C-alpha cells in the first residue's frame, strides 16, 4: 500500500477473497459512508445483490497485485437519475450485453469487473452483476469514494487513456464510444443517458495487469465491508467506523439549518451543525454538491475534497445522504484522508476544491486523534 505523504498509512483491513450474501449488508453500510452524502441510495441495490449472491453463489475477489497477463478488467456502473432508477429498474440482460460488447471491442475475454466508484449504490451493484456473469471482481474502484463527474476517476488522474466505453439501456440499445478524453465522454454519455430514458448501465476503462496498478484505488471493497462490519457490530458505531477509516470526528451535534437547491442536475447547498455535549457552543458548516465537499468552522477549512467528509447518524453510525438530511437530526461529522493519488497535482486539478468552484486552497486532512 502506498504510504501517505505524511508518512502514515491508513488502517490496514484484511483483504477478502470473496463476497457472499451475508457480507452485503456490511458492504452496503460501508459504501453509503464512502458515498460522502451522494452515490445514490444503496437500499434497492443491496436488496438485489443479496438475492443475486444467494441465487448464484459468492463472488471471488482478487487484489490488484494478483492480476496476471491473462486478466482483463473493466469498470461497470449505473449512470443516470436516481429518481428514474427507483422506477425503471435494470434488466438481467444489461450486464451480459455490456460484457459481450466490451469483449468484442477489446478483442479478448474480460475476466473481472470492478466498481467505477465504491461510494453508494455503484459500490454494491457490480457484485451482483459479477455473480450473474460468472466473473471475478477486482478489489478496487476508480474513486475510493463517490464523485459526480466522469472525469473524476483514478485512471484519468494516473494518465491512463480510456480506450472505449460501452453503454447499454434497459430496452437493449448499445452504444460504443471511443472518446478523445473524459470530458468528451461525459458530454456524449449524458446525451445517450437522456435518449435512453434517464438511466443506463455502463462499462468503461479496460485495464490490465500492466495498467491497473497505480491507476485504481486498491482494496476498497474489503475496506467498505470492514467499515460496514464495524458499524453493524460495535456498541459505539461512530468511533468504531472512525477507527477503521482512520477518521477524526469533526463535530457531534444536530442539524440546525439545511439550504438545498437543484442546479444543473446537481443538488447544491449547505448544512449547519450545532455542537452538542462536549462540542456545545461550536457551529460547523458543510458545503455540498450531491456529495459533502467542504467542512468549515469559524471561517477555517477543516476538511475538503478530495478528502472525505461523511455525516453519520450519531446513534446508529449509518451514513445520511444529502437528500435525507433533516433539521434536528443528531449527527457526527467524520473526515478522513483520500487516497494519495487524489493529492497529486493532477488529482487536485480534477477534484480539488477549485474543481468544484470553491476559491479555497487544498489543505490535506490529517488525523489528529490517536487511539
Partner 1 sequence: MTHERELSIGVDVGGTNTDAVVLDQDGTVLAATKQPTTADVVGGIRAGVARVLDEIDDRRHAVKRVMLGTTHATNAIVARRSLARVAVVRLGAPSGTEWPPLSDWPDDLSHHVLAGSAMLGGGHMLDGTPIMPLDRYGLLRFLDSIEGRFDAVAVTGVFSPSYPDQEREVDAIIRDHIGPDARIFLSQDIGPTGLIERENATVLNAALHRVAHDVTHALLAVVEEQGLDAVTFFAQNDGTLMSLDFAENFPVLTIGSGPANSIRGAAYLSGAQDAIVVDVGGTTSDLGVVVNGFPRESTLPREIGGVQTNFRMPDILSVGIGGGTIVDVASGRVGPGSVGYRIDREGLLFGGSIPTLTDAAALNSSPIPGRSLPTVDGRTRDALAASLAFVADRLEAAVEQLSLGRMDLPLVVVGGGGFLVPDELSIATEVIRPAHAGVANAVGAAISLAGGRAEHIADIEDREAAIEAASEAAIAKAIQAGADPLKVEVVEVLETPISYTTHPAVNVSVKAAGPLSRLGTTMPALP
Sites for partner 1 among residues 305-364 (CB under 8 A): 324, 326-330
Nearer to partner 1, 1 or 171 (CB): 171
Contact between 281 and partner 1 by CB under 8 A: the answer reads no
Q: Which stretch binds partner 1 (CB under 8 A): 28-36, 80-88, 100-108, 243-251?
A: 80-88
Q: What is the side-by-side order of every strand in the sheet holding 18-19?
A: 18-19, 59-62, 136-138, 112-115, 72-80, 199-208, 165-168, 174-177
Using the contact rule CB under 8 A, the part of the chain among 22-30, 45-53, 221-229, 353-361 near partner 1 is 45-53
Residues 260, 286 contacting (CB under 8 angstroms): no
Task: Let me know: does 250 contact 303? Beta carbons within 8 Å.
Answer: yes
Task: Tell me whether residue 190 or residue 282 sits nearer to partner 1 (CB atom).
Answer: 190
C-alpha cell at 36: 460522502
Please report the sign of the dihedral spanned by the C-alpha atoms of residue 15, residue 207, residue 71, residue 170.
positive
The answer to whether 92 contacts partner 1 (rule: CB under 8 A) is yes
User: Considering the rule CB under 8 A, would residue 65 count as an interface residue with partner 1?
Assistant: no
Please identify, using beta-carbon distances, which residue of 107 and 328 lies nearer to partner 1: 328
Backbone phi and psi for residue 312, each to the nearest 5 degrees, phi listed first: -110, 150
Looking at the Cβ atoms of 190 and 354, the one nearer to partner 1 is 190
Is residue 266 close enough to count as binding partner 1 by CB under 8 A? yes
Residue in the structure block whose three cell numbers are 444536530: 254
Q: Which of 2, 12, 194, 363 binds partner 1 (CB under 8 A)?
A: 194
Query: Does the protein bind partner 1 through residue 86 (CB under 8 A)?
Result: yes
HEC states along 53-99? HHHHCCEEEECHHHCCCCCEEEEEEEEECHHHHCCCCCCCHHHHHHH
Helix residue ranges, H only, 153-219: 154-158, 182-195
Q: Which is closer to partner 1, CB of 158 or CB of 170?
A: 170
Cα distance between residue 150 and residue 184, in whole Å: 10
Looking at the Cβ atoms of 137 and 338, the one nearer to partner 1 is: 137
Which C-beta is closer to partner 1: that of 87 or that of 210? 87
To the nearest 10 degrees (0 to 180), the angle between helices 42-56 and 125-133 is 20
Residue 69 CB neighbour total at 10 angstroms: 8
Asked if 93 touches partner 1 (CB under 8 A), the answer is yes
φ/ψ of residue 49, rounded to 5: -65, -40
Burial class from Cβ neighbours inside 10 Å (0-12, 13-18, 19+) for residue 148 reads middle
Closest CA to 329 of 316, 338, 345: 316
| Contacts of partner 1 in 127-156 (CB under 8 A) | 128
Q: If binding means CB under 8 A, how many residues of this protein chain bind partner 1?
A: 39
Tell me which stretch binds partner 1 (CB under 8 A): 88-96, 113-121, 299-307, 360-368.
88-96
HSE at residue 324, side-chain half, CA atoms within 13 A, is 17
- The verdict on 280 binding partner 1 (CB under 8 A) reads no
Q: How far is the CB of 342 from partner 1 (least distance, A)?
A: 25
Question: To the nearest whole angstrom, how small is the minimum distance from the Cβ of residue 113 to partner 1?
Answer: 16
Is 172 among the residues that bind partner 1 (CB under 8 A)?
A: yes
Binding test (CB under 8 A) with partner 1, winner from 33, 185, 199, 288: 199
Closer to partner 1 by Cβ: residue 181 or 257: 257
| Residues that bind partner 1 in the complex, under the rule CB under 8 A | 43-44, 47-48, 51-52, 80-81, 83-84, 86-93, 128, 170-172, 190, 193-194, 197-199, 254, 256, 262, 265-266, 324, 326-330
Amino acid at each position: 500500500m502506498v504510504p501517505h505523504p505524511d508518512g502514515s498509512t491508513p488502517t490496514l483491513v484484511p483483504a477478502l477473497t470473496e463476497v457472499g450474501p451475508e457480507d452485503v449488508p456490511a458492504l452496503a453500510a460501508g459504501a453509503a459512508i464512502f458515498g460522502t452524502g451522494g452515490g445514490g441510495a444503496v437500499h434497492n441495490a443491496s436488496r438485489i445483490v443479496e438475492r443475486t449472491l444467494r441465487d448464484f453463489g459468492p463472488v471471488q475477489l482478487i487484489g490488484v497485485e494478483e492480476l496476471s497477463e491473462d486478466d482483463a478488467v473493466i469498470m461497470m456502473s449505473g449512470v443516470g437519475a436516481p429518481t428514474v432508477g427507483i422506477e425503471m429498474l435494470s434488466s438481467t440482460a444489461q450486464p451480459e450485453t455490456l460484457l459481450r460488447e466490451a469483449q468484442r471491442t477489446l478483442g479478448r475475454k474480460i475476466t473481472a469487473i470492478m466498481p467505477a466508484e465504491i461510494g453508494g449504490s455503484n459500490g454494491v451493484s457490480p457484485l451482483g452483476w459479477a455473480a450473474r456473469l460468472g466473473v471475478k471482481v477486482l478489489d478496487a474502484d476508480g474513486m475510493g469514494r463517490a464523485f459526480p463527474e466522469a472525469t473524476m476517476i483514478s485512471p484519468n488522474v494516473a494518465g491512463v487513456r480510456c480506450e472505449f466505453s460501452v453503454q447499454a439501456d434497459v430496452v437493449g440499445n448499445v452504444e460504443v464510444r471511443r472518446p478523445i478524453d473524459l470530458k468528451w465522454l461525459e458530454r456524449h454519455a449524458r446525451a445517450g443517458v437522456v435518449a435512453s430514458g434517464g438511466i443506463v448501465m455502463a462499462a468503461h476503462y479496460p485495464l490490465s495487469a500492466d495498467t491497473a496498478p497505480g491507476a485504481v484505488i486498491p482494496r476498497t471493497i474489503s475496506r467498505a465491508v470492514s467499515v460496514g462490519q464495524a458499524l453493524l457490530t460495535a456498541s459505539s458505531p461512530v468511533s468504531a467506523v472512525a477507527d477503521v477509516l482512520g477518521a477524526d470526528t469533526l463535530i457531534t451535534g444536530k442539524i440546525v439549518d439545511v439550504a438545498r437547491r437543484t442546479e444543473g442536475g446537481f443538488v447544491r447547498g449547505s448544512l449547519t451543525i450545532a455542537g452538542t455535549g462536549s462540542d456545545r457552543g461550536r457551529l460547523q458548516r458543510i458545503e455540498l454538491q450531491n456529495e459533502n465537499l467542504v467542512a468549515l468552522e469559524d471561517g477555517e477549512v477543516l476538511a475538503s475534497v478530495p478528502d472525505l467528509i461523511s455525516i453519520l447518524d450519531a446513534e446508529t453510525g449509518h451514513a445520511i445522504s444529502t437528500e435525507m438530511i433533516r433539521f434536528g437530526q443528531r449527527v457526527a461529522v467524520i473526515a478522513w484522508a483520500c487516497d494519495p493519488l487524489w493529492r497529486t497535482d493532477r488529482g487536485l486539478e480534477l477534484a480539488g476544491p477549485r474543481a468544484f468552484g470553491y476559491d479555497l486552497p487544498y489543505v490535506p486532512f490529517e488525523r489528529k486523534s490517536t487511539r
